[in-house]
Amino acid sequence: MQPFALIRPTTLLAARDRVHEHPRARLFRAGGVDLLDRMKEGLDAPAELIDLRTIADEKSLRGINPDPAGGCQLGALVTLAELAAAAELDAVLREAAGSAATPGIRNLATLGGNLLQRPRCWYYRNVDLVCLKKGGDACLAVTGENKYHAILGGGPSFIVHPSTLAAALLALDASVDIAGDTPRNIPLADLFVGPKQDPTREHSLGPGELLLRVVLPPAPPGRRSAYAVAKEKQSHDWPLVEAAVSLSLATGVMTQVRVVLGHVAPTPWRSREAEAVLENQAPSADLFRKAAAAALAPARPLRHNAYKLPLAQGLLREALHRAADLPLPE
């Protein structure tokens, strides 16, 4: 890694001001897992890292706290290990957090950094290649090796969003609190920027803006949820495909159904088509099969990733069966 200065601000404002002055040369650092990876590869070479973990005047950056509106707030610096162990959180979130990366990485990696990590596309991660994401004029994945790329919502770039937590949090209707020139709360879905809008970025934070916390609204009565994932290795790997589901079963029919697929699209992919099939219906294996087919109907695979279609359908069905507590058919 090229030399850099390590800044340990004690106030939120000091951290933000520091980055705001030189947003290209000074980067926020949380757990540092994605950042060090990028710096070791030569993709980023900041002059300064601004460590968020020394900020002392903003308590809500840490821990899981009650939200005034009745739900809870997850500090941006909460680690994946803490999320996985928090019994008060919904199953979909605990399962997702506990499945990502490795136990050692989960002790370092934070919620904020996980949502804001850069994509895993190997053309992006290779410093010698210049694709659309790095200001070049073509997506190298279209004609190259696209086994891990998008089957939904792709173009002109075909990354899949790398965050496992994003899919789970979207299924829980999360929003995010942002500290910026205009402090704001936005739906989590609006944090993500798709390639049609701008292929060079994945999130909407401005220079020096900081993700403070994720806010979860109160759960509807009888909410149940589940997360299902397939990887090439059971541990160590980012998902090939993942499915996050939440639904309310208070009255015998499913309401407030949320269906999110991860690692299929440039942003975490909420399937309104599948939700429409499921909403206000009694759970059944047949219905889940229909919902899975509806979710993947708009998919357009590239040359090497058509396997993701049946995989996503299977994982979505598994998550639905587990959430509704209906035994999986053989």
Partner 1 sequence: MSDIPRISRRSLFRGVGSATLVAGCAAKTPTPAPAPGLDPAAPPLAGTALGPGPAPLRFTLNGAPQTLEAAPSTTLLELLRHQLDATGSKLVCDRGACGACTVLVDGAPQPSCMTLAHDVEGRGVTTVEGLATNNQLSPLQRAFIEHDALQCGYCSSGMLMSCQALLNRRGATDAAAVEHAIAGNLCRCGTYPNVVAAVLSVAKGGA
From residue 89 to residue 118, the character string flagging contacts with ligand FAD as x (rule: CB under 6 A) and all else as - is: -----------xxx--x--xxx-xxx-xx-
Beta strands (DSSP E) in 192-316 are 210-216, 223-230, 241-248, 255-262, 269-270
Q: 121 touches which of ligand SF4, partner 1, ligand FAD, none (CB within 5 to 8 A by kind)?
A: ligand SF4
Shortest Cβ 190–ligand SF4 spacing (Å): 21
Tell me which of 15, 27, 219, 226 binds ligand FAD, using CB under 6 A: 27
Q: Give yes or no for residue 202 binding ligand FAD (CB under 6 A).
A: no
Q: Give yes or no for residue 105 binding partner 1 (CB under 8 A).
A: yes
Among 219, 226, 108, 117, CA closest to 168: 226
Shortest Cβ 233–partner 1 spacing (Å): 9
Q: Which is nearer to ligand SF4, 157 or 163 (CB)?
A: 157
Phi first, then psi: give them for residue 75, nearest 5 degrees.
Answer: -65, 145
Q: Give yes or no for residue 229 binding ligand SF4 (CB under 6 A).
A: no
Tell me which of 20, 120, 147, 290 binds partner 1, using CB under 8 A: 147
Cβ atoms 162, 118 nearer than 8 A: yes
Shortest Cβ 139–ligand SF4 spacing (Å): 3
One-letter amino acid identity for 88?
E
Through-space distance between the first and last CA atoms of the chain, rounded to whole angstroms: 51
Q: Is 252 helix (H, G, I), strand (E, B) or coil?
A: coil
Q: Give yes or no for residue 285 binding partner 1 (CB under 8 A).
A: no
- Cross-strand pairs, 65: 73
Q: Distance of alpha carbon 21 from its chain centroid, rounded?
A: 28
Other C-beta atoms closer than 10 Å to the C-beta of 85 total 13
Q: Give yes or no for residue 139 binding ligand SF4 (CB under 6 A).
A: yes
Among 41, 314, 274, 304, CA closest to 158: 304
Q: Which residue is nearest to ligand FAD (CB)?
A: 113
- Burial label, 232 (beta-carbon count in 10 A; 0-12, 13-18, 19+): exposed
- Give the count of alpha carbons within 13 A of 276, CB side only: 6
How far, in Å, are 29, 249, 312, 317 from residue 252 at the CA level? 46, 6, 26, 19
Q: Give yes or no for residue 248 binding ligand FAD (CB under 6 A).
A: no
Q: Which residues bind ligand SF4 (CB under 6 A)?
A: 119, 121, 123-124, 131-133, 139-141, 149, 157-159, 199
Q: Which residues bind partner 1 (CB under 8 A)?
A: 1-11, 13-15, 17-18, 21-22, 24-25, 32-33, 36-37, 40, 42-49, 54, 101-105, 107-108, 122-123, 127-130, 134, 136-138, 140-145, 147, 230, 232, 234-236, 240, 307
Q: Which residues bind ligand FAD (CB under 6 A)?
A: 27-35, 52, 76, 100-102, 105, 108-110, 112-114, 116-117, 162-164, 205, 210-211, 236, 238-239
